[in-house]
Amino acid sequence: MKVGDLVRLKEGYSFEEKEKDIYYQAGVIIMIDEYDTSGLWYQVQWGQENLWHREGDLETISESR
């Protein structure tokens, strides 16, 4: 995955009921950062919200060029 890719949250990765309002059908990766031993984290823009996720939380819908 890379910046600009269109992604969605994998089934079962919205941990709280209130978070369901944040996750639309698709989000865009806007930043990638590596945090020590926890690996790569992806910042995703979901409408008006942006949140950090690990790669295993997301699936790619469409790759950017």
Residue 1 counted as domain residue: no
Question: Between these two residues, 33 and 14, which has the higher pLDDT value?
Answer: 33
When pLDDT is averaged across residues 39-64 and rounded to a whole number, the result is: 90
Residue 13 counted as domain residue: yes
Residue 41 counted as domain residue: yes
Looking at residue 30, what is its pLDDT? 97
pTM of the full structure: 0.80
Task: Judge whether residue 17 has pLDDT over 90.
Answer: no
Burial of 13 (0-12, 13-18, 19+ CB in 10 A): middle
Check if the beta carbon of residue 29 is closer than 8 Å to that of residue 4.
Answer: yes
- What is the tally of structural domains in the chain? 1
Residues of the domain holding 41 = 6-62
Residue 24 counted as domain residue: yes
